[in-house]
Structures are given as C-alpha cells and as structure tokens.
Chains A and B, each alone.
Chain A
Amino acid sequence: MSQLETMIRESADAGDWVADWEDVLRRSGRSRYRSRRAAALVAVAAVTAVFLLPGIGIGGGLNALLSGSSGPGWELRAPLSRGGDLIGAVSVRSSRLFVGIERKGGRVRWFLPTGRGRIPRPEFRWTLQLTGTATVTSARIVRRGRVVARLCSPCSDGAHGTFTTSRFGLQTIFGKGLVVADTPQGRAHGRLRLQKPQR
C-alpha cells in the first residue's frame, strides 16, 4: 500500500457512531408487522386452546374424537358378575344406528337409516374384557331364553367380533338384553345398558 493510500485511509472520520437497529425497524414499519404477527399468534393459540384443551368449550369432545381414546358415538355395556363378583364386561357398538334417549323416563329409541331398497341388517361390534384370572368358556346375548347372538366359545380377554341381528335382536339389545357367560366356576350374567356419551 502506498503512502498516499495510507494517508487516505487515516483521513476517514472515525467518529463515535451509535447504531440503533430498533430505529431502523421502526422506520421500515417492521414493528407494526411484528405486532400484527404477535396478535395473529395469540389468536391462533387461543383458538387452539378452546378446541383442544379438555374442559374448555368443545375441547373435551373434540380431543376425544381426535385421539379416539373414548370413541365417538354410543356404547352398550354389560358388566358380568358371578355370585356378586365382577369377572369382566361385554361392550357392544354399532355405527349403523342412531340412538336417542327420551328425556323423561330414559327410554332408548333407535333409528335405522332409510333409503331405497332393502335395509341391511345392522352390524354390531362386540368386545369382551375379563378381570384378573377370570376365564369364560362361552358367551352369548339372550332374551327370554332365546339366543340373539353368539359371541365366542371359548373366550379370552380382549376377544372381539361382529354380529348382525334381526328386529327382535335389536329390541333385545336396546331392551336391557342379557349377556350370559359360562365359566368353569359357574354362569355369569350382565344386562346391556346404554352408556352416556362422553362430553
């Protein structure tokens, strides 16, 4: 570097300049954008909280629907007891029926979807849950001594399956139908009752 170049470099104004980036952002209008973005984020967070947090608004129901933990729709459940001891339970579900409960009296009414042609027999899904070391050799749903649906034989904990039934069977299932389970220690019984939907 020549002497002249050095002299030119040394002639630069080395004043004490103080930078202010916030001032640059203010002049650019950036601060307003930032506050708008912050407001938008707060709004999104609030909506998310309302929708997803249990106990707030529709949060609980939607959360259950998304997670599938409790399952949407109705469920019939029959606790199985033998000599006063609870040995398990049978649950029954169907997505082909609409169910209503009368406000007075609690009577259960069911509705089949209408349409052209023959209405298919509704299909039900059942699940057997056993407690502890309980074993079941066979299980079925009966009404007035008539078997409406055979569930399993032999049966193990977590056994599940499907069955279809007639109009008579529907009346049984929603009319506190009886689930009978045979065990090596004797017979266990339980009545199907509609569970209140989770809200």
Chain B
Amino acid sequence: MVSRRRSGAALAEIEAVYRSRFAQFCSVAAAVLNDRDTARDAVQDAFARAVRNRRDFRGDGTLEAWLWRAVVNTAVSARRKNTALTFPDPPPQADDDQADDVRAAIQRLPERQRLVVFLRYWADLDYAAIAEALAIAPGTVAAALHAAHGSIRDCLQEVRT
C-alpha cells in the first residue's frame, strides 16, 4: 500500500505502482478500449500526465487509486474520441469457452457497471479505491456491482440455454 502524502507524489512512488500493476492497468484499459495497442498507449499517456501533475496529488486517498482514476479517465476519453473503437456488440459465442462468455457478458454491461467490474475483479481494488477512481460514492460501487452480477448471471444463463 502506498503511503498517503499531504501534497504531491514522489516520482519513485508513481514508478513503483506503474511497475507492480502495469499488467492490470493495461488489462482494464484494453477492456475499456477493446484494443491492446491503444490500451497500452492510454496507460503510458495516463502515467505521463500523472508524472507531470504529480504535485496535484493531495493525498486524500491512496496514490494507486489516484493513478487508476487517471488511467480509467484516459481510456474512456480515448474511446469516446475514436469512434472506430466504439464497443461492438459481442459476437455470438459458438464454443463453450467460459472466459469468453464472461467477457462477452461484461461487455454488454452499462459503462459504469463495466468499469466497476473491471476495477473490482481485474484490478483487485476495494470499494473505497473504486469509488475514488471513478469519483462516485462507495454505496454506488456496491449497487453497481450488485446490478452487474445480476446482468452477467442472466447473460450467462441465456448463452448456455
């Protein structure tokens, strides 16, 4: 856990989070953007911006949550700017690959629920960190997860029947 600071974040701290969580950052960005190269680019840009603006980190939450917010915002902005990357409807699943079914079910979720699922299960963040990363209340995180679980369960049942 990265310690809290009153103002500013040290470059070394940002680098430590980057190196230890790079795969998760890229996975979530790829899920948002549906494109690996663009996702990696978004993560690099998000961290570059975080390095430039590291003095803006006020230590209200964890540094990691602050960085997650930067990555998610950058990825979402990139997806909105590039219409070619608009989330396509998931193709019908012909095989019984469970992971693909789950990914397809997640992609059908509304954006907020999708992001909450990514951050909860792929990035392994707790409710408080997710709330901070998405700038929503912790109660909203719980509600969004609950709704996402229901939607994913329904979708999986629909695919298998």
Using a CB–CB distance below 8 Å, which chain A residues touch chain B? 4-5, 7-15, 17, 19-21, 23-30
Contacts and interface: CB of A to CB of B under 8 A. Distances in A.
Interface of B: 11, 15, 18-19, 22-23, 26-27, 30-31, 36, 40, 44-45, 47-49, 51-52, 98-100, 102-103, 106, 117, 121-122, 149, 152-153
Contacts of A28: 47-49, 51-52
A4 B149 contact: yes
Contacts of A7: 98-99, 102
Given A15-B30, A20-B44, A10 B51 contact: no
Given A5-B121, A25-B51, A14 B18 contact: no
Contacts of B48: 24-28
Q: What is the interface of chain A mostly: helix, strand, loop, or mixed?
A: helix
A15 B106 contact: no
Contacts of A14: 23, 27
B79 to A, nearest CB: 16
A15 B18 contact: no
B102 A24 contact: no
Per CB-CB distance, the 4 closest pairs between chain A and chain B, nearest first, are A27-B48, A11-B102, A28-B51, A28-B48
Contacts of A30: 11, 51
B23 A8 contact: no
A23 B27 contact: no
Contact of A9 (B15, B36, B122): B122
B27 A15 contact: yes
Contacts of B153: 4
